[in-house]
Each structure stands twice: as structure tokens, then as C-alpha cells.
Amino acid sequence: MTYQDLSHLKVPPRCSGNCEPGRCDEGFGFGPMSLDRLMPMHLVVGLDGTILRVAPTLQKLRPGQILNGASFWELFELRRPRRLASVSEMLATEDGRLALMFRTGIRTSFKAIIVPLPCDNGALINLSFGISVVEAVRAYDLTVRDFSGTDLAVEMLYLVEAKSAALHESKKLNLRLEGAKVAAEEQAFTDTLTGLKNRRAMDHVVGRLLGEQAPFALMQIDLDFFKQVNDTYGHAAGDEVLQAVARVLVAETRQTDMVARVGGDEFVLVFMGVADLANLELLAKRIISRLEEPIPFGEADLKVSGSIGLTSTEIRPGATMEELLQDADMALYSSKHAGRSCCTIAEPPPA
């Protein structure tokens, strides 16, 4: 916008014609402080390219560097229009629109408008960040005070700040929801009395292993004489027995194995990647021995034992979950009929 363009606004020019270089902005009817408020990122350059005056926000972008007296061409790279080498050529552009970039340091890009000052004292160049305002605010630690009150960048900053706050709160909410989801899923897969996995978790794990065609073994355990404990000493004693059994089973298995309580006094152990049933049979005997140890309850010693049925994907390749559990169950009841406190390995199905 030229000086003549402003004349129809009836802004009284105050240029005497004897103005100092770079100070003829008074001819627009505005003093330096007014220009700083209206255009906090403007600069005044002489026709030779010397920077004569810099607005506060623009100076803030180059802390510790004295811009007054510096060369415009050493500070900025003209990106558009290209091949212009003087202030006069920039002023001669059709609409005065420029695209600039700092030559050194943070290579910030700017959009700019250049207008001539009266009396051929140079040019006024007003800069803005354009769509890179958010990156510039972060890079230079700018605040709302560094922009004109009517600059759309101010509204953009408010929107960005509001969006950042909303995203932060959304992230915190999502973390809480994810935590609640994990806790709910864990609870859904956990037996509340013993802390072991439950039937639902066992079904999930076995189904996944079958889908992956991964080898595993199943050990089904049923407590002997548990009903007598409940009937004689009450359910609190029965709960004590179940918790003690859970501790034994966890202690005797690996972290990679799964121990689940699938019924009142029924437990299933899943051994991932195990094919050696001989070692599992030895483990079963050790578990049986430990289950026979008396469990203190008040002044009484609670006594139970365990019967075990054992099977694996090696015994019955391609079996479904129901078939494997049925095989383990049949082996378990074979142990019951054999006098309890023993382990039976499932027989392969007939050819």
C-alpha cells in the first residue's frame, strides 16, 4: 500500500520534506510506537538495503544481534520473487508481496508486504509467519504480546493452545481409560479368591495355542477330601485350602506356565512348549506330595490331597480344546479310581 493509497483515509500527513532517513514513517500520521503496536514485525530499510529500524518482535527473533545498520540482504534470503537484488526492484513488484527466509540460524520463513516511504527514504516491510506461526512460536518462545492484537495469528495461537490443552486432557483420559480397560480385563481373567487365572483365561490361552499350533501339555487337578473340609470346618476353611493350593501350584510352575482355577476345587495347568511328559509326571508327583502337607487353620490341621490327569498335543495331535480337556478329565478320574493322590497320563485315542 502506497502513501497515496492512504490519502483517501484523510490521515493527515506530517512530513515536512526534511525527514531523516528511515524516519519518514511520520508521514503516514503514525509515530514509531504506533507502528510497533500495529506491526510488531516490521522493519524500515533504506534504498541501499541498510536496515534503519526494527520492530520489537522481529528483533526478538535475533537476540544478541544488532539489526539496525545491518544489511537486509545479509539477514534475509528473498525466496519470491526471485532474482531481485535491490530494494527498488522489490518496490517495483506488482503487489509488493514477498517471501523471505532468514539466511542463518533458525531458517524461519516469512510472508511480507513492502511499501515505499515518502521522500524516497526507503521502504517499510511488514513480516508475518503465515502458516508456520506455530513452529515459530515454539522456536522463539513468542507470546500473544509479540503480535498485533488484530493479527489472525493471535486467534490461531489461542486455538493451538486450546487444542494442546484438549489433547493433553484427552491423552490423560485415554491413559486412565486404558488403565481401567487393562484392570477390567485382568479382573475378568482372574479368580478373585486365589488370584489365579480363571476358566475364561484358560479357554483364551488354550484357544490361542491351538490356533498357533504350538505344542503344550495340560494337567488337570482335582482336590481329594475337599468336601469333608468344607462340611467339617466351614467355607472359610475351604477358602484357606484353595489359597494354599494356589500357592503350591504357582511355586511349582514356571512363569511361562499358566495356573487356572476352573471350578470349585478344580485346577488346570497349561505348560507351553512342553512335550516331555516324563518330566511332567515327576512334577505331578511333587505337587501331590506337597498337597498332602497339612494346612494350619486355627487349632486344626486341614488335610487334602490331589488327583491329576495329564495330556498333551503330542498325545493327541490336531485335537480340539474340548477333546484335550476331556482326555485330561478322563485321566483324572482314572487317578480317582486308582485310589486318589496319583497322576494318570491320558491314552492316545484308538487309531
Secondary structure, 3-state, 5-51:
HHHCCCCCCCCCCCCCCCCHHHHHCCCHHHHHHHCCCEEEECCCCEE
For residues 98 and 124, what is the distance between their CA atoms, to the nearest angstrom? Answer: 12
Evaluate whether 294 touches 307 at the Cβ level (below 8 Å): no
Mean pLDDT rounded to a whole number for the chain = 83
pTM of the entire predicted model: 0.53
Residue from 199, 211, 202 nearest 313 by CA: 211
Active-site residue numbers? 265
Residue 1 banded pLDDT, cuts 50, 70, 90: very low
> Does the pLDDT at position 147 exceed 80?
no
Instruction: Summarize pLDDT for 224-264 with one digit per residue, the tens.
Output: 999 999 999 999 999 999 999 999 999 999 999 999 999 99
pLDDT digits (tens, 9 = 90+) for 195-204: 999 999 999 9
User: Alpha carbon 16 to chain centroid distance?
Assistant: 64
Predicted confidence band at 38 (pLDDT cuts at 50, 70, 90)?
confident
**Of the listed ranges 137-141, 148-152, 263-267, 282-286, the one predicted with least confidence:** 148-152
**pLDDT greater at residue 18 or residue 314:** 314
- The pLDDT value recorded for residue 194 is 95
Beta bridge partners of 42: 126
Interacting residues of 62 by C-beta distance below 8 A, sequence separation 6+? 75, 105
